[in-house]
Structure 1
Amino acid sequence: MSTEGRHVEGEGAGSADTATAQGLSQGLRQRHVRMIALGGIIGASLFIGSGSVINTVGPAAVLSYALGGLLVVLVMRMLGEMANASPKLGSFMEYARESLGGWAGFTVGWLYWYFWVGVVAFEAVAGPKILSHWFPAIPAWAMSLVLMLLLTITNLVSVRSFGETEFWLASVKVATITVFLVIGTLFALGLWPGATFSVPNIAQDGFLAHGWATVIQGVVIVIFSYFGAEIVTIAAAESQEPGKAIRKATATVAWRVVLFYVGSIALLVMITPWRDVPHDGTTSPFAAAFTRFGLPAAETIVNLVVLTAVLSVLNSGLYTASRMLFALNRHGWAPGWVRDTNRRGVPWKAILLSAAGGYVAVIMNYVAPKQIFDFIMNSSGAVALFVYAIIAGSQLRMRRRLERDNPEALTLRMWGYPWLSWLTLAGTLFVVASMAFVESARSQLWLTLISVAVVLIAYLLVRRRVPATSEPH
């Protein structure tokens, strides 16, 4: 029966049953969810932005990525504990609401939506920069518009359409990194044709070439590269076995971080002396490495992979923003019409509203590229850290209640509770504070704080109209 044009009331999207009750489809297969988990943390920031981090930190960029990755691994473990203990609650927005109160759920939900709308806008502008290598005569705004239309349609068709698109886009990213890891290891060990043993490059000018302070500065920069790992907990709600998918995704995030990020960065500074790693933001360090391997058309191939990464983030960003907007309405925190679904179980109005940010970016990039567009990017820049902090606070509160009232639900536990939980929260807040001392991140911090203040004020106004649906126990 069609659900188009009506509101679908129900419980949180944390299980297949509740997803159905909400009117959402269960069209994602396990292979979709697995690949979303694998590819979710591989973005253009790894393929392009890693060069800037290496230039800033030196070979010790490996430590920056390792420390940032450790923080994400701990956050994901906390998220996994809550998702397994309370699958019917759904996303971390619901965990925050249940554990800390309506203000936390409202704040993290709207900040998360705003962040992904900003990401969609950024990727809609970034894609044409890559396409311009092959289609220099086509205006950037026209290419942005085409990309936005294609991926909006992909999300609107069905959740399986989104899953299939993301599966193949993520597969390209994972395959590229896997090939790089294999050939890069052989090259660094001198086992690749024409290569010499180059592992000592990692200590060129000393491993800590710029000191420990830059390692922390590097963490501030790289932490945002990892954001997106949590998408799998949202996507799992539209699969047949969400609990199984979440358990596998959160259990394997550690090796994904170590292999894809820490391993890749370590190989980059072994293969190429770190001062020679491209960092101008236009040439990928991976393209330079593949060229050293002697592979033909290396730069063209990597540019195609970077484009794939951009499209993947754009695709998953539209999906994630729309599902968070859909969930916010359950408590009267978003317009009622965003819960309208079509006959395929797709929240089409939430998708269109979330996509609107990308279309506005297309216009702004053409009309005023340096004013409004830069503001949108910077004002959502530090949202990831606030989301991590609220997830950590939620887990601390929920774990205490679960141990008291329902200990058998703790089938997946946070390591070293409560000490590692508190350490994760403290580490997140430390990175937030460190942004004030990093010139490139300072404006993002202050503008994001303004965004947080605006959302909190909005919550106070909304609460007058909509009574809190629940408060923490």
Structure 2
Amino acid sequence: MSPTSAPETVDQKADGSLSHGLKQRHLSMIALGGVIGAGLFVGSGAGIAAAGPSIVIAYTLSGLLVMLVMRMLGEMSAANPASGSFSVHAERAIGPWAGFTAGWSFWFLLCVAVGLEGIGAAKIMTGWMPDTPEWAWVALFMLVFCATNLAAVKNFGEFEFWFAALKVGAITLFLVIGVLAILGVLPGTDAPGTANLTGDGGFLPNGSEGLIIGLLASVFAYGGLETVTIAAAESEHPVQGVAKAVRTAMWRIALFYIGSMAVIVTLVPWDDPKVVAKGPYVAALDFLDIPAAGEIMNVVVLVALLSAMNANIYGASRMACSLVARGQGPKALGKVFGGVPRIAVLVSSVFGFGCVLLSYWRPDDVFLWLLNMIGAVILVVWFFIAVSQLLLRRRTEREAPETLVVRMWLYPGLTWVALAAMAAVFVLMWREPGTRTQLYYTGGLTLALAAAGYLLQKSKEKERGGESEKVTDAVG
């Protein structure tokens, strides 16, 4: 298959066998909730400790990059909704090997992430009930969400709707309380002014190196936004759903990520040990003497982790199903029963639970190896998205301009800016000892998948060539 051929007809067959049970309210809330993950509630603490108040700049810069990526992905997904999302677009634009590489690397990322989120949720539960084993909680969560995803897709949509509603409500309440405290109108608090922004080392307490570490931490916190374009293929109105989700991405990122970081570093000294030990949101609520702040945030983080598990099992199963439909994976994974790729759901869940078991059996080698391999996968996916949009936009304008209901801003200039920004992040990862290993492992994974995809592509081309020769001989 040449890079310019259109495999979407194959993927559309797969999508046609999937149900379309997601309503617009499901898709809207998945888009909202997808931007609020455990990485924001917990992982941002390490970024604040490294960058200080300048973490706001870090999240702003990485947020701008994410906005560009989502706009590009939205343009392609609205023009061609497919459960394979960016994998389908990469195949259309670059070739089957690119779709294979982007799709299976993302599947691997999601499955490992399911295990990590299960471990995080189990730690919260054992904190409440210390006599219970962690693995049992992980197994319970896996069973619940595997069952949810084995049933009709509307069950996944309902779970995510309420999970996302809780997360959105929690962070909105936090922002309201924080702003009132900053203004000095919250009872029992005084306005902090700019003391925490300019004092104790200044706005850049650890210099540019600290800002770089905070920037890298913020980039990976944005992972997960892509799921909404996968889910859109099973919605009632996929084109309108994707368009609406992408168009609201800007204010969601600005409000939830950048806004909350600004509130936290204004209220709490950046070097407060609680920022890392308990998480920045708990530290801020403790500073305001909010009763039971730690337990409140533990509930919110638990919801965020369970939501991510549910969404990642869903995303992994649909990506695998789409890849198989395009002849890029074991056929058994693509079988659909009752509108759901149940074997893909089971395999993705089992793989995730296997990662959990490895965290207990081989924590210092195999599990660490898996963690390092997913370090920069999201950047690899973003790179494929940008290159695909760069190539497909011109082709779509020529062949089907009416499908461009979402358009990338200032094309092709901002697409090139996004690619340059990704290259800069890769360079920054290579400069930092803490992320260099992740870059090496991710590069190895990507190259291995690219080689496997290329060999599979050549094998199919050879088979088709042989079949053509047989037909010619028979005619002759």
Task: State the TM-score, normalizing by the size of structure 2.
Answer: 0.92
Q: Report the CA distance shift for 1:30/1:19 in structure 2 as closer, same or farther (over 3 A).
A: farther
Tell me the distance in 1 between the aligned counterparts of 2:15 and 2:387: 30
CA shift for structure 1 position 295: 2.3
**Greater gyration radius:** 2
The letter for the 1-side match of 2:291 is P
Q: What is the SS of the residue equivalent to 2:394?
A: helix
In structure 1, the residue matched to 2:324 is 329
- Aligned residue runs from structure 1 range 28-107, under 5 A: 28-87=22-81, 91-107=85-101
Of stretches 142-151 and 442-451 in structure 1, the one that deviates more from structure 2 is 142-151
1:175 pairs with 2:150: no
Structure 1: 5+ residue stretches without partners: 1-8
2:259 is matched with which residue: 253, 259, 263? 263
1:10-63 CA distances to partner (integer Å, 9 max, x unpaired)?
94667xxx6662x11111111111111001021111111111101100100000
Equivalent residue pairs, number = 456
**1:367-382 alignment, distance < 5 Å:** 367-382=361-376
Aligned residue number for residue 5 of structure 1: none
Does residue 192 in structure 1 map to residue 192 in structure 2?
no
Deviates more, 1:120-129 or 1:315-324: 120-129
Question: Does residue 306 of the first structure (1) align with residue 310 of the second (2)?
Answer: no
| Alignment partner of 1:226 out of 210, 222, 226 | 222
**2:249 is equivalent to residue 253 of structure 1:** yes
Work out whether residues 89 and 95 of structure 1, in 8 Å CA contact, stay in contact via their aligned partners in 2. Answer: no
> Could you say if the C-alpha distance between residues 80 and 127 of structure 1 is closer, same or farther in structure 2, counting changes exceeding 3 Å?
same
1:196-243 CA-partner distances (Å, limit 9, x unpaired) = 111302222321222234323322121111011111011011110011
In structure 2, how many angstroms separate the alpha carbons of the residues matched to 1:368 and 1:20? 39
Counterparts of residues 318-397 of structure 1 (less than 5 Å) = 318-343=313-338, 345-397=339-391
Q: Which residue of 1 aligns with 2:233?
A: 237
Tell me the distance in 2 between the aligned counterparts of 1:184 and 1:398: 44
Deviations 1:178-208 (A, max 9, x none): 0011010000111101111113022223212
Q: Which amino acid aligns with 2:89?
A: Y
1:114 to 104, 108, 111: 108
Which range is displaced more, 330-339 or 315-324? 330-339
* Distance change >3 Å, CA 90–CA 318, structure 1 → 2: closer
Does 2:471 correspond to 1:467? no
Whether the aligned pair in 1 keeps the contact of 2:82 and 2:233 (CA below 8 Å) is no
Contact 2:96 2:454 in 1 (8 A): no
Match of 2:125 among 107, 131, 136: 131
Superposed CA deviations along residues 116-153 of structure 1, whole A, max 9, x for unmatched, are 11111211222111111111111111111111111111
1:151 correspondence with 2:148 = no
Q: Deviations over 1:132-179 (max 9, x none)?
A: 111111111111111111111111122111111111111111111000
Amino acid in the other structure paired with 2:264: L
Partner Cα distance (1:299, 1:195) in 2: 19
1:171/1:12 CA distance change after superposition, 3 Å: farther
Contact 2:111 2:348 in 1 (8 A): yes
What RMSD, in angstroms, separates the aligned Cα atoms of the two structures?
Answer: 2.0
Q: Conserved in 2, the CA contact under 8 Å of 1:113 and 1:321?
A: yes
Letter in 1 for 2:208: W
Superposed CA deviations along residues 348-381 of structure 1, whole A, max 9, x for unmatched, are: 0011111122221232122222221111111111
In 1, the alpha carbon distance for the partners of 2:248 and 2:410 equals: 18
Corresponding residue for residue 401 of structure 2: 407
What letter is aligned with 2:436?
A: R
Deviations 1:269-298 (A, max 9, x none): 111111216243x41211121223332211
Q: Kindly state the Cα deviation for residue 81 of structure 1 after the two structures are TM-superposed.
A: 1.3
**SS of match in other structure, 1:273:** coil
Inter-partner Cα distance in structure 2 for 1:10 and 1:415: 25
Other-structure match for 2:272: 276
Q: Is the 8 A contact 1:61 1:265 kept in 2?
A: yes
- Distance across 2 between alignment mates of 1:10 and 1:209: 51
Q: What amino acid sits opposite 1:227 in the alignment?
A: G
Match of 1:214 among 210, 216, 229: 210
1:193 is paired with a residue whose SS is coil
Say if 2:83 and 2:233, in contact at 8 Å, map to a contact too. Answer: no
Identity %: 43
Give ranges in structure 2 of 5+ residues lacking alignment.
1-6, 465-476
Report the alpha carbon displacement of residue 302 of structure 1 after superposing the two structures with TM: 0.4
- Tell which deviates more after alignment, 401-410 or 31-40: 401-410
Question: Of 283, 289, 293, which residue of structure 1 is paired with 2:284?
Answer: 289
